């Protein structure tokens, strides 16, 4: 049995629950020795096998414990899914360089795998920048941060601009004159990117209400940058998270072209276009086949314009599966919902994770997660196809699903259909829980965050490549992999 091993002096990745402490305010950059203090004590084991095999293994472990004392929620992260998403990206948008949006899921293995694949990183804070700078020195983002990290926050704290300057993170966005004056004072050598406002009405999460300069404000902003002797190198935009209309990207590209022309008229020579994020998992090819040609039409390869993007959920959405345990149940015999119609929930299930934990995506990201049974009356449906088929045919019941806290806001699903045979102690499975979930989870009311169990995937070329890449980007790790 082989597995990754680490020591305190060897590990060097930032952990969800142990984010690096910012340097003192008088310092603009931590010394190398300081950075080593902002690292993992150890990394979790990386297993081999399918998501289903890891779900089954961990449920069996929990169910075998005396008095069932540790029924914590847990994720299974299949890193081969992240790798497959990168292949999709390179197939559809070979010219556009992906800069992973760290805020979406700053998972240690995800970050290292993407670094091994040569991605750049979109960071919005000092902590996120430090997360990337703490990667091994053989990663492009740490070898050349000025070229592979973009500080994509148009409104930055002064201390964070100083930190970026001290660590050679040059590319940063702006959308207002106050930001320009601040940068001129603190980091006059920065490479600036003007963020323009686009039509984000066809997206699930709209950003235009907070960021982006309207086209009629662009001439004044660029003239101000010119007067301050600042170096503006390009244009960025974001059509909103979860965009479902390809035309939104086409329109944004046309606005970017107009901004390039304004910049040229003022003497700037723009050489970078940042097309932002918003890429979904299910409609990626549809979006890409409009975006790619639009970029080539308005910014042909021969112009030398570098094109980057800021995908987040696209890479991790499908890679993480969450398992939750039903810790309590109230049925119609408990005198609930007596006045409701036949379509209203007849059962209330309480599980050990909710909207203050991984399901914060319900409130913050407009997510609509769907539950499936993982066990029914303590029997794994994954391990028994006949039982699974029986549960599908079995009578379903309307139910609501609630988190564990003592807050009535903690409702994960108001109305859902699940097997009538579910009981306290059974497990539910939630797929596609990789984006904007664990990164914003809290320990409100004293409930712990879900652990993450990692797998490189089942036997496949993708699984082999994942292990190979992690060896390259994790020189502090010994061995290869732990088998179930």
Tracing tokens 């600036």 back to the chain, one arrives at: 192
Our answer to whether residue 104 is catalytic in this structure is no
- 470 with 80: CB under 8 angstroms? no
In angstroms, rounded to a whole number, what is the distance separating the alpha carbons of residues 208 and 258?
A: 18
Each residue of 64-79: b (16+ CB within 10 Å) or e? eeeeeeebbbbbbbbb
Catalytic residue among 38, 139, 406, 411: 406
Please report which helix (H) or strand (E) contains residue 395, including its range. Answer: none
- 209 with 188: CB under 8 angstroms? no
**Pick from 192, 317, 299, 301: which is nearest to 254 by CA?**
299
In angstroms, rounded to a whole number, what is the distance separating the alpha carbons of residues 345 and 348?
A: 7
In angstroms, rounded to a whole number, what is the distance separating the alpha carbons of residues 48 and 378?
A: 25
Q: What is the DSSP string of 68-96?
A: G-----EEEEEHHHHHHHHHHHHHH-TTS
In angstroms, rounded to a whole number, what is the distance separating the alpha carbons of residues 403 and 445?
A: 11
Residues with active-site annotation: 406
């Amino acid at each position: 049995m082989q597995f990754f091993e680490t020591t305190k002096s060897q590990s060097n990745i930032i952990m969800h629950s142990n984010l690096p402490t910012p340097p003192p305010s008088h310092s603009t950059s931590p010394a190398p020795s300081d950075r080593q203090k902002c690292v993992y004590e150890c990394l979790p084991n990386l297993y081999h096998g399918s998501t289903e095999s890891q779900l089954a293994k961990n449920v069996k472990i929990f169910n075998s414990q005396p008095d069932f004392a540790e029924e914590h929620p847990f994720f299974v992260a299949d890193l081969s899914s992240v790798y497959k998403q990168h292949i999709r990206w390179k197939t559809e948008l070979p010219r556009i360089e992906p800069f992973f949006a760290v805020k979406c899921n700053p998972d240690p293995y995800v970050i290292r795998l993407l670094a091994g694949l040569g991605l750049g990183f979109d960071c919005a804070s000092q902590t996120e920048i430090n997360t990337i700078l703490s990667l091994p020195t053989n990663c492009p983002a740490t070898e050349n941060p000025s070229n592979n990290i973009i500080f994509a926050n148009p409104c930055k704290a002064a201390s964070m601009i100083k930190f970026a300057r001290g660590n050679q993170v040059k590319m940063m966005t702006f959308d207002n004159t106050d930001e320009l004056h601040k940068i001129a004072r603190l980091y006059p050598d920065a490479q600036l990117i003007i963020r323009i406002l686009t039509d984000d009405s066809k997206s699930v999460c709209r950003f235009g209400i907070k960021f982006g300069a309207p086209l009629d404000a662009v001439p004044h902003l660029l003239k101000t940058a010119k007067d301050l002797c600042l170096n503006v190198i390009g244009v960025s935009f974001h059509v909103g998270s979860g965009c479902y209309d390809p035309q939104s990207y086409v329109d944004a590209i046309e606005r970017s072209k107009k901004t390039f022309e304004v910049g040229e008229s003022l003497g700037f020579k723009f050489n970078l276009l940042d097309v932002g994020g918003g890429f979904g998992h299910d409609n990626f090819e549809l979006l890409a086949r409009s975006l790619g040609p639009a970029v080539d039409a308005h910014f042909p390869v021969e112009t030398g314009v570098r094109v980057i993007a800021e995908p987040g959920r696209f890479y991790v959405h499908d890679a993480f599966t969450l398992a939750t345990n039903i810790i309590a149940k109230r049925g119609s015999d408990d005198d609930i919902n007596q006045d409701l119609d036949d379509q209203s929930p007849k059962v209330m299930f309480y599980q050990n994770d909710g909207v203050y934990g991984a399901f914060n995506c319900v409130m913050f990201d407009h997510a609509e997660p769907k539950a499936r049974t993982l066990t029914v009356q303590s029997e794994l449906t994954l391990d028994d196809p006949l039982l699974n088929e029986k549960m599908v045919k079995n009578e379903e019941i309307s139910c609501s699903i609630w988190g564990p806290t003592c807050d009535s806001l903690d409702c994960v699903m108001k109305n859902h259909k699940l097997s009538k045979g579910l009981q306290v102690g059974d497990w539910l499975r939630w797929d596609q829980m990789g984006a904007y979930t664990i990164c914003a989870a809290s320990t409100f009311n004293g409930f712990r965050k879900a652990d993450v169990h990692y797998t490189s995937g089942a036997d496949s070329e993708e699984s082999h490549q994942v292990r190979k890449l992690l060896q390259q980007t994790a020189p502090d790790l010994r061995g290869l992999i732990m088998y179930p």
